[in-house]
């Protein structure tokens, strides 16, 4: 899974003011969703999502001001569930003393920001979605080929890094070699990057470790890239029937996302860099609605039918 994020991490990221709960800043935030507790302030607590960060803006605070003293104390005491990571008051509004008392009693921190509720909520959601995104690390090489993020996989020593080096020499961009950190930033979308320690580095057997950015320039690398296609390299097996038309689309699941996978057999004389370039271009034209294999099969069927008619 993605890395852990605490209230303290968020506090430092957005330079928030702590109203109360200094000793509770190590509380973990587990979901990226935010919540504005309007219904709860009106007395409806049946579906209160206490695992979310609770945002209090002008609407909520105005409603609180309109409650009687007794209602205010009762609602805010009930609102302060001990499982809530924290409350965040926006626009530097004054925090109701009844909320401070209830939060201190339940051990829930209250923070404050000068930003407007909608603007702050948007920034906070984007931040949390990134740091809480499901993630995994895969052994492989990630290259940006014609704008398509191609993840090259295969057994150790099969030639993944050498192929990536050839692709870089042909004008494409390296994202990661050996280990690729993959994050599912949203449903159906995977983004890959290199661990900090090996960013921009390629390991070539017999040559050692080279820095691609130093040798080929900043245009030969990029920090992250959305993964669209997986190319699996494997040693050529004489007995195996390889797909010669490209009609059967192989799929691979990474985290919760399915990607198109091509299995490319490796043998002397095959230029893998050119094959991957063409695979990326073919993937692009397929997304645009043209499938050469289907066109070929359709024309073949028409030719056979014409031959039958002549008989």
Q: Which fold has domain 135-297?
A: Rossmann fold (3.40.50)
Give me the CATH code for the 5-131 domain, please.
Answer: 3.40.1390.20
Q: Which of 36, 91, 178, 224 is catalytic?
A: 178
Binding residues for Mg(2+): 161, 203
CA 307, CA 311: separation in Å to the nearest integer? 7
CA 218, CA 223: separation in Å to the nearest integer? 10
Q: Which of 58, 119, 139, 170 is catalytic?
A: 139
Task: Give the residue range(s) of CATH 3.40.1390.20 domains in the chain.
Answer: 5-131
Q: Which of 52, 72, 112, 160 is catalytic?
A: 160
Task: Give the residue range(s) of CATH 3.40.50.300 domains in the chain.
Answer: 135-297
Q: Is 114 helix (H, G, I), strand (E, B) or coil?
A: coil
Compute CA 270 distance to the chain's CA centroid, rounded to the nearest angstrom. Answer: 34
- One digit per residue, the tens of pLDDT, for the chain of length 311 reads 446 899 999 999 999 999 999 999 999 999 999 999 999 999 999 999 999 999 999 999 999 999 999 999 999 999 999 999 999 999 999 999 999 999 999 999 999 999 999 999 999 999 998 888 888 999 999 999 999 999 999 998 899 999 999 999 999 999 999 999 999 987 788 999 999 999 999 999 889 999 999 999 999 999 999 999 999 999 887 777 666 666 677 899 999 899 999 998 888 777 899 999 999 999 988 888 766 667 777 777 778 777 666 55
Binding residues: 154-161, 203
**Does 13 participate in catalysis according to the annotation?**
no
At residue 171, the pLDDT reads 95
Q: Which of 23, 240, 244, 311 is catalytic?
A: 244
Binding residues for ATP: 154-161
Model confidence, pTM? 0.70
**Does 139 participate in catalysis according to the annotation?**
yes
Q: What is the 3-state secondary structure (H, E, C) of 188-202?
A: CEEEEECCHHHCCEE
Which residues, 6+ apart, have CB-to-CB distance to 215 below 8 Å?
Answer: none
Which residues, 6+ apart, have CB-to-CB distance to 112 below 8 Å?
Answer: 16, 17, 19, 88, 89, 90, 92, 93, 95
């Amino acid at each position: 899974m993605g890395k852990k994020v605490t209230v303290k991490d968020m506090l430092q990221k957005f330079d928030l003011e702590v109203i109360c709960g200094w000793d509770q800043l190590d509380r973990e935030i587990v979901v990226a969703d935010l919540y504005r507790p309007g219904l709860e302030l009106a007395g409806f607590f049946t579906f209160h999502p206490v695992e979310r960060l609770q945002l209090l803006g002008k609407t909520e605070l105005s409603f609180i001001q309109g409650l009687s003293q007794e209602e205010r104390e009762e609602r805010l005491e009930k609102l302060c569930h001990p499982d809530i990571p924290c409350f965040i008051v926006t626009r530097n509004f004054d925090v109701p003393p009844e909320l401070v008392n209830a939060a201190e009693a339940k051990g829930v921190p209250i923070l404050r920001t000068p930003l407007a509720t909608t603007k702050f909520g948007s920034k906070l959601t984007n931040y949390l979605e990134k740091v809480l995104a499901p993630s995994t690390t895969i052994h492989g090489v990630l290259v940006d080929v014609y704008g398509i993020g191609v993840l090259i996989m295969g057994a150790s020593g099969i030639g993944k890094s050498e192929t990536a080096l050839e692709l870089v020499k042909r004008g494409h961009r390296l994202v990661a070699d050996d280990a690729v950190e993959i994050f599912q930033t949203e449903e159906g979308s995977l983004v890959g990057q290199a661990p900090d320690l090996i960013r921009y580095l390629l390991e070539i057997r017999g040559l050692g470790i080279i820095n691609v950015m130093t040798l080929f320039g900043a245009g030969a690398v990029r920090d992250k890239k959305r993964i669209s296609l997986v190319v699996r390299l494997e040693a050529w097996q004489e007995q195996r029937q390889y797909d010669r038309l490209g009609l059967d689309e192989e799929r691979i699941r990474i985290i919760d996302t399915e990607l198109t996978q091509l299995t490319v057999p490796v043998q002397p004389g095959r230029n893998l860099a050119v094959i991957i370039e063409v695979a990326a271009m073919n993937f692009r034209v397929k997304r645009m609605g043209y499938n050469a294999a289907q066109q070929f099969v359709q024309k073949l069927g028409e030719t056979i039918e014409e031959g039958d008619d002549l008989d």
